[in-house]
Structures are given as structure tokens and as C-alpha cells.
Amino acid sequence: MSEYNRAKTDFCESGVHLIMHELDEAKQPTQLGPYRILRFLGRGGIAEVYEAVIFGASGFEKHVALKVLRPQWRGDARMERALIEEAKLGARLSHRNLVGVHQLGVDQGIYYLCMDLIHGWNLRSLTREVRSPIPVILHIADEMLAGLQYIHEFEDSAGRPLGLVHRDVTPSNILCTKEGGVCLSDLGIAKPTKELDKTWNRFLKGKYAYMSPEQLGSQEISSAADQWGFGVTLAELLSGVRPFDGATAIETMEKIRQADFPKLKLPRKLRPIVRTCLEKEPSQRFASTALLRDAISEARGHWPPCDSRGLKAWLAEASAAVSK
């Protein structure tokens, strides 16, 4: 498979899910601060990501992912503030299920965010072609929730909860490493505010199917919104169908606002979990991410165990099938 076609199937080597587009070579940086740009990885609505390398003494070199605003948003104060906020918060977070953020810099008027370079695949690229066994799905779900629980419970130096929300939980933002690890990309992690919610929601179009009713209503959101995104993702992995898909984006959004739980082919032991995550009212979902994770852990007991080694083996099979 060519590098371009691999990118089109969402092969992911960065901390953010992005889809390959043709480049505007004139606007592609070749160096940002100490980082030499090696290649373009992809872009989303707000930012684009590059693989880069930094050199040090005695032959030292380290490959990283650099996230920068797309050319049309560079110099936009709102977008720059959002990226800066993401960098500041991301740098404080350290968890095996989150993509690490290491530096925020600015060069040639371009803000750049230095992140882990993740070698692997996003879940969307794999599950388009290959159905996942339930034990694998539940292992990935548990790892996702470990990262989300860490985000939701994160406190400041005085022990006060920061109220962080991921706000973009989708299969595209679930990264599976070649070694069997699971990471959430950190796009959009922030403390909710009305201004920031409006900024992010403008650029989540195309991901309406995973947005909660309160996000679509431009209301202030809480960690319960991430439970909704998790519930849609889990339902899709288990059944192959997104619960509220409509023929158009407008129809999809209306179905989400109504939040009538659809008829899906879900395992009996998992249906109540999915249904609770997809309650219309945030207060009717799980009281905390920790309790949701407990429910998943209990359900896992009804299937054969799966750990990182089992995920690694499945990833090898799935990636080979996708590459054909």
C-alpha cells in the first residue's frame, strides 16, 4: 500500500486523528524552532500535524509529532488561545492512555505543539474493514475509560477538580499502538467554558454522530458528554452501526436531540451500559466515569480475558487485512 493510500485509510502516526489531503507546499514549514519537519501526517478542521525530528549531541535524535494551526487560522487570536490552552493543560497530564504533550513553541509567527509520535492505527481505520472480537473491544473500552477517568478527576495543586472534558471521544481519536497500547488523542481537552465550547463545536462538524445532545444545544458540558461519545463508540464497535445516524447531518442531529434509544444488536450484558451512556439527560448517565469503568470491568467477566498481548495479536491480523 502506498504512503498516500495508507494515509487515506487513516494510518495514524500522530496523537491526533487526521485524514490526508493534498498539500499546499508553499505553506508547509520546513523547520519550527529546533524541529526539522520530515513529513506531513494530516489535517483536521483546525490543525495539521507533521512528523519532525530534533537532534542533540553525540548523534542523539528524537522523532515527535508537531501540531500547528492550519494556515487560515494562524494569527486568529481565538484559535491560538485554544491551542495554547490545550498545550498548557496537556503538559500537566501524564497517563499511559493519553498522548503526551511536551512543548509549546512559536517560530515564524506559528505556534506549534510538540507531542508523542504514536506508531500504530486509529480505531476507525481498523474497524472499517474488520470486526473486533468482544474481548478486544472491552479491553480497548477499559483502557479508554482509564484515560478519561484520569482527565475527569484531574485536580490542581490545591486538590480542586479542574472539571476537564475531552469533548471529542470517537473511534478516530482512539489510537492503538503496534505494541498493544491504547491512547486517547488529546484534541479539545479543556475546562469547559461557554466561549470555548462554541469555538470547538464549530469545528466538530463531521463528528455530529458522536456529539451529545447538550453539545448540539451549545450548552455547557461536563464529563457526562464524554460518556455519550464513549457510548456511541462502544455501540458502533459492538454492532457495526452508529446509534443515531441519519441520512443527513441535520437528521442525525435531530435523532441525537430526541435521544430515542434505537434497536441495536448488542450483547445482553452490555446493552444496559450503552443505554445508560446514551441517556438524553446528563444526570441520568453514570454518576462518574469510575462507575462506568466498574460496569465495563464487571461485564468483561462474561467473556474470555484480553490484555495488551491479545490486542497486539488482533492488531497484527487487522492491520494485515486492511493493508490488502
Catalytic residues: 168
Give SS3 for 121: strand
Q: How would you class 233 by CB atoms within 10 Å of its CB: exposed for 0-12, middle for 13-18, buried for 19 or more?
A: buried
Contact of 64 with 105, CB cutoff 8 Å = no
Q: Let me know: does 68 contact 48? Beta carbons within 8 Å.
A: yes
Q: Other C-beta atoms within 10 Å of 107: how many?
A: 14
Element (H, E) at 41: strand 35-43
Residue type at 191?
K
Q: Which residue has the cell 501524564?
A: 94
Partners of 19 in beta bridges: 43
